[in-house]
Every structure is written in structure tokens, then in C-alpha cells.
């Protein structure tokens, strides 16, 4: 007998589960319940509709209710809310929102793809006209209407996560003066501070005001529309930002209201607890997407990762398991990418902050290779941070910022993390090369080679945050005089690389030497010269470029 599957929630996980279930069974009865008017839409594309990069609203609709009905024979019920679940009788209580009519819907298998809710902290004045969350198509419609009706000139975006940064970029594109307010010391929390620093510089270079480590204290009512049409945004520091529109991107939390009515276990992170098959703690109830707690693939810790890719795969896995095709979700790597004006930032796996908090041993290397062969026109520098296990060389995490080539490198590195690859493996990867696309030693290969050198003891690394006036070591700059004239680490010694062998007598042998150049290659060569001449030496990973931007951000 074919099962009756009731799926609560569309968009990524729910719609993916419904379509996969139909492909596996023509006989199954499939009911897809969606609270909003749109069953499957591109919520990641919403900011780009605000800025006009996605010109047609229709393009945001990945699939319509009617399309799912006709192509997949799915009973789609939009504007219908699930109120409660009786897991004993296997009934879910539904309410049709336009009419208010309530009824019970029986199920054989129930799938919760209920997503996440925007965080709404208790800030005075949070809810008022001109303040908007951005999660759905009705949200973006309301934003577009307000922008047009009020001829907005000044926008305040509260929150420096993915949606906040993308929306800030698009409002700037529309000609508004934009301010970003972030309670943390950095934007894009999955990045480490030394990598987020590149985003800070890029944001400010476009005239966007960035307030870090300065949360909103309250939203005051403006005295007149001329002063501000939405709010006076008052920060903890006392700074007041007039806003004609406020976008609230304060993050999200798993939507577990319905799960609690069914008696499902909620995990330590606040998400619905599921096993590797996406089964909840109650038989015949499954869950997927932003509402669930999953395992971090690298650390093994419980986590909530609200990303579209994992949600789609989890929905598919549920359908497979319902029909007997055993399928597991091995954990989340958290691979993500973001564009901010002219640069992209991407990450995969664990960041340094997480590993340090867990007390796990790790090694970090920074490098700044070109996006393709440096002799071919248009090559742009990449900033890469690679984190690996110092015992076995296994890749634990990667972060990349740059103008081009970020996406393909992070995808290779995400694949490497999933495959438990090591620095040796990265060095040996055979990747596509032609001058317009890459280099004979691709940045991924270079990252592996640097890691190999560390693991083999050919070089020891120092890190930007160790550089301090009272540090016990000597800092040696091996750049040219022209480079040094543009900026230098205070109190550092200067000996250009090509003069180093002849000037070794100028260096102390009773103190450790930390050597640096611009991006790390020449200082590695210098470190090898010094080490083989009896000096105790470390190479400043990422060199002056990483130190300079990380320090500038730390003092911002």
C-alpha cells in the first residue's frame, strides 16, 4: 500500500522532498502544505530583486502550486497553516488562513520542513512602519512598495550576515546611502576576523557606513518625515542614524513550534533533533532544512546551518528513506559564498574560532596567489586561509576572499573536506589549467604544498596576532626598499631577500627571527636560508598583507 505523505513547508526542503517522493512513487498520495502564497521560491534571490539585478519578479518563483499539481500530481495547499500534530492518531491540524477553516489531515508519514523564524530581540521600537524582515516574496513586495512610495534616501541594515550584506549592496545600487549596524566585531560570522577584514575594507570603500561592535539600543520615532521616514536608529555608543527604511537581518532561529506540539525532541542548539536518516524522535515524523539540528561534519558537534543546499539534500534523503532507499545525511560542512560589491567571500568547514573554542589542535596558513596565471592579463589576488590538522594533515576548513576564482576554489576545497583529504592530497590534485583560468600550480595546489612544508618541518609559521611591541622575537622584513616605504611593521629589521646571504652577520643568533615579505613566498625562501645557517626562524604566514589588513580591522 502506498503511503500518504504530508509535508509541512515548501521552498527548499519541502518542495525537494515532494518532487523526489513523486519520482519514486506514482501511487503515493502527497500533500504539500505552505503557510504563504508561494510554495517554492528563490529566497536567496530576494535581495537581488530589490536592486534590480533580477528584473522580473516572476523569476523568483522556482515552481508554482499549479506547476506542482500538473507535473507532479501533488496536492498543494497554499495559505494553509499547520497548527498542531497528534502523533498518536497521526493527524495534523490545519487552518486555511483566508477562510479560518480548521480540519484534521491524516498522514502515514509526516515531513516537517518548517524553516526558521527571524530573530526579534526585545529592542524598543523594533516593529513599526518602514521596518522590514526579508524572508519571503510578500516581504520583498512590501520593501519595494515602501522604497517607491517614500522616495527613500537613507537605509539602515541591522545585521551583517548574508541577507544583510546582500541587501545593503542592493540598496546602495539603488542610490540610497546605506549604513550597516552589526553587534559583533565583524560581519559574516562564519569567517574568522582576519578574513572578514577584507569585507570591512570593501564595504567602506563604497561609501557604506559600517558600525561594528555597536548594537542597536532602540529605534526612536522621528520628529518629522523630513528627519527620517522610518526611524532614528540609536546605537549603544549613542550614535543616531536617521533611516527612511530599516532592514532587519538579525539572524534566524529554528521554527520548532509545530514540532513541540508533536512531542519531538529539541536539540541543544534549538533545532529539531534528527538522526542521520532525518528521522525525528517520534516514529513516522521526519524533519529537514533550517529547523533541524544536524552534525558538523568536521567537528562532530551539533549545529544549525540555515543554507539552501543542505535543505534540498535533506528533503531528498527523507523521500528516499520513506520508500526504502536507504540514504544518510553525513553532516554539514557549511559551504557558502557571498558577493559584496566587487569581491566574493566563501568558506567551508570549520573556522579557527570554532576549533579554538573546542580546544582542538589545528594549524593555519595564509596565502595570496593570483586567480589565474599572473602573466595573463586580468589576474587578481586571492586571500586564502587554510586550516588543517597538524597530526595527519587533514583539511579542516577553508576561507577565501577575492575578485574572481573564489567560487571554483572553495568548491574544490569543500569536496576535499568531504573526502577527508590531506595537504598531500591537495598538493597532488590535477586541476584544469590554461592561462585565462588558472596556474600550473593552482592556488589549491599551493595551499597543499605550504601545508606539506609545515608538516614536514621545513618551515614553522608565525601568525599576524603574535606581532606585538613586546614580542620576544625579531621581525625581519625581506621586501624591497620601495615596498617598505609604503608601510612596515614597527621596529622590524629590513634586509632585502637578495642581500640576505651577505648580511647574515647583522642578525642576532640568540633570538628567534620572524621573517616576512609581501605575501609569503620570499619570506619562505628567506626562512629556508636562515634555518640552514643555524638561525631559529619562523615565517609570518600571509606576510605583510595579512598582518596589515587584520591589524587595521582589529583597530577599526
Do residues 209 and 171 share a domain? yes
Q: Which of 431, 455, 479 is the last residue of a domain?
A: 455
Range 422-450 average pLDDT? 97
Domain assignment present for 332: no
Q: Cβ contacts of residue 246 below 8 Å, gap of 6+? A: 130, 131, 132, 155, 156, 157, 158, 219, 230, 231, 233
| CATH at 143 | 3.50.50.60
Q: How many domains does the chain have?
A: 4
Do residues 80 and 136 share a domain? no
Q: Does the pLDDT at position 352 exceed 90?
A: yes
Domain assignment present for 305: yes
Question: DSSP alpha helices (H): ranges in 359-405?
Answer: none
Boundaries of domain holding 351: 342-455
Q: Which of 322, 351, 379 is the last residue of a domain?
A: 322
- Residue 26 sits at φ, ψ, to 5 deg, of -80, -20
Do residues 135 and 234 share a domain? yes
Q: Which of 423, 455, 487 is the last residue of a domain?
A: 455
Do residues 175 and 139 share a domain? yes
Range 491-511 average pLDDT? 97
Do residues 440 and 546 share a domain? no
Q: Does the pLDDT at position 493 exceed 60?
A: yes
Do residues 501 and 399 share a domain? no
pLDDT tens-digit map of 99-110? 999 999 999 999
Range 303-318 average pLDDT? 94
Residue 493, CB-side half-sphere exposure with 13 Å CA sphere: 16
**Calpha distance 165→168 (Å, rounded):** 5
Question: DSSP alpha helices (H): ranges in 390-498?
Answer: 406-418, 423-428, 443-455, 481-485
Do residues 98 and 51 share a domain? yes
**Calpha distance 75→64 (Å, rounded):** 12
Do residues 144 and 243 share a domain? yes
Do residues 476 and 438 share a domain? no
Instruction: Please tell me the predicted confidence (pLDDT) of residue 43.
Output: 85
Do residues 286 and 358 share a domain? no
Domain assignment present for 333: no
**Calpha distance 443→433 (Å, rounded):** 11
CB 323 within 8 A of CB 20: no
Would you call 152 a catalytic residue per the annotation?
no
Which band of pLDDT confidence, cut at 50, 70 and 90, is reported for residue 64?
Answer: confident
Lowest mean pLDDT among 46-55, 61-70, 354-363: 61-70
Domain assignment present for 246: yes
Instruction: Please tell me the predicted confidence (pLDDT) of residue 12.
Output: 87
Q: Does the pLDDT at position 556 exceed 60?
A: no
- List the grid coordinates of 468: 606585538
Domain assignment present for 19: yes
Domain assignment present for 47: yes
Q: Does the pLDDT at position 555 exceed 60?
A: no
Domain assignment present for 198: no
Do residues 143 and 32 share a domain? no
| CATH at 545 | 3.40.250.10
> Which residue has 608565525 as its cell numbers?
462
Share of the chain above pLDDT 90, in %: 94
Domain assignment present for 197: no
Enter the DSSP assignment of 503.
Answer: G
Q: Does the pLDDT at position 191 exceed 60?
A: yes
Instruction: Please tell me the predicted confidence (pLDDT) of residue 554.
Output: 61
Q: Does the pLDDT at position 67 exceed 90?
A: no
* CB neighbourhood size of 238 (10 A): 8
CB 316 within 8 A of CB 281: no
CB 192 within 8 A of CB 352: yes
Range 388-409 average pLDDT? 98
Range 329-337 average pLDDT? 96
Do residues 446 and 468 share a domain? no
**Calpha distance 411→421 (Å, rounded):** 14
Q: Which of 17, 44, 152, 517 is catalytic?
A: 44
Amino acid at each position: 500500500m502506498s503511503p500518504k505523505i504530508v509535508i509541512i513547508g515548501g521552498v527548499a526542503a519541502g518542495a525537494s522532498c515532494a518532487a523526489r517522493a513523486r519520482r519514486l512513487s506514482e501511487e503515493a498520495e502527497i500533500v504539500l502544505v505552505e503557510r504563504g502564497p508561494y510554495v517554492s521560491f528563490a529566497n536567496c534571490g530576494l535581495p537581488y530583486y530589490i536592486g534590480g539585478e533580477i528584473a522580473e519578479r516572476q523569476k523568483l518563483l522556482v515552481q508554482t502550486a499549479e506547476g506542482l499539481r500538473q507535473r507532479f500530481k501533488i496536492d498543494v495547499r497554499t495559505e494553509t497553516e499547520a497548527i498542531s500534530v497528534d502523533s498518536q492518531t497521526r493527524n495534523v491540524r490545519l487552518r486555511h488562513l483566508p477562510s479560518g477553516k480548521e480540519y484534521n489531515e491524516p498522514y502515514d508519514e509526516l515531513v516537517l520542513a518548517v524553516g526558521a523564524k527571524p530573530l526579534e530581540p526585545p529592542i524598543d521600537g523594533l516593529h513599526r512602519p518602514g521596518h522590514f524582515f526579508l524572508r519571503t516574496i510578500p516581504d520583498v513586495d512590501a520593501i519595494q512598495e515602501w522604497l517607491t512610495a517614500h522616495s527613500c534616501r537613507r537605509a539602515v541594515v541591522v545585521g551583517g550576515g548574508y541577507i544583510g550584506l546582500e541587501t545593503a549592496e542592493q540598496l546602495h545600487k539603488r542610490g540610497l546611502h546605506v549604513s550597516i549596524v552589526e553587534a559583533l566585531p565583524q560581519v559574516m560570522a562564519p569567517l574568522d576576523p582576519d578574513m572578514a577584514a577584507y569585507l570591512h575594507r570593501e564595504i567602506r570603500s563604497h561609501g557604506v557606513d559600517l558600525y561594528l561592535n555597536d548594537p542597536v539600543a532602540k529605534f526612536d520615532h522621528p520628529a518629522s518625515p523630513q528627519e527620517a521616514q522610518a526611524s532614528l536608529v540609536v546605537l549603544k555608543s549613542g550614535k543616531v542614524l536617521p533611516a527612511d527604511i530599516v532592514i532587519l537581518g538579525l539572524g534566524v532561529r529554528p521554527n520548532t513550534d509545530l514540532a513541540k506540539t508533536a512531542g519531538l525532541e529539541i536539540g541543544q542548539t534549538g533545532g529539531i533533533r534528527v538522526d542521520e536518516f532525518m528521522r525525528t524522535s517520534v516514529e513516522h515524523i521526519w524533519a529537514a532544512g533550517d529547523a533541524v539540528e544536524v552534525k558538523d561534519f568536521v567537528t562532530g558537534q551539533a549545529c544549525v546551518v540555515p543554507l539552501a543546499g543542505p535543505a534540498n539534500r535533506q528533503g531528498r534523503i527523507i523521500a528516499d528513506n520513506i520508500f526504502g532507499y536507504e540514504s544518510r545525511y553525513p553532516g554539514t560542512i557549511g559551504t557558502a559564498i557571498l558577493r559584496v560589491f566587487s569581491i566574493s567571500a566563501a568558506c567551508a568547514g570549520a573556522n579557527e574560532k570554532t576549533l579554538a573554542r573546542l580546544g582542538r589542535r589545528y594549524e593555519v596558513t595564509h596565502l595570496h596567489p593570483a586567480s589565474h596565471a599572473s602573466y595573463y592579463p586580468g589576474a587578481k589576488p586571492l586571500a586564502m586561509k587554510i586550516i588543517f590538522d597538524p597530526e595527519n594533515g587533514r583539511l579542516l576548513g577553508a576561507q577565501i576572499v577575492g575578485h574572481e576564482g573564489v567560487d571554483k576554489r572553495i568548491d574544490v576545497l569543500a569536496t576535499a573536506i568531504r573526502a577527508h583529504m590531506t595537504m598531500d592530497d591537495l598538493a597532488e590534485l590535477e586541476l584544469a589549467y590554461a592561462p585565462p583560468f588558472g596556474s600550473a600550480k593552482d592556488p589549491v595546489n599551493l595551499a597543499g604544498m605550504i601545508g606539506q612544508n609545515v608538516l614536514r618541518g621545513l618551515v614553522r609559521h608565525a601568525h599576524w596576532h603574535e606581532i606585538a611591541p613586546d614580542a620576544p622575537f625579531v621581525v625581519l622584513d625581506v621586501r624591497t626598499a620601495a615596498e617598505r616605504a609604503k608601510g612596515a611593521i614597527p621596529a622590524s629589521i629590513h634586509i632585502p631577500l637578495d642581500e640576505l646571504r651577505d648580511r647574515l652577520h647583522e642578525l642576532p643568533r640568540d633570538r628567534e627571527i620572524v621573517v616576512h615579505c609581501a605575501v609569503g613566498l620570499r619570506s619562505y625562501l628567506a626562512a629556508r636560508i636562515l634555518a640552514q645557517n643555524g638561525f631559529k626562524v619562523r615565517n609570518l604566514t600571509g606576510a605583510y598583507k595579512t598582518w596589515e589588513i587584520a591589524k587595521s580591522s582589529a583597530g577599526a
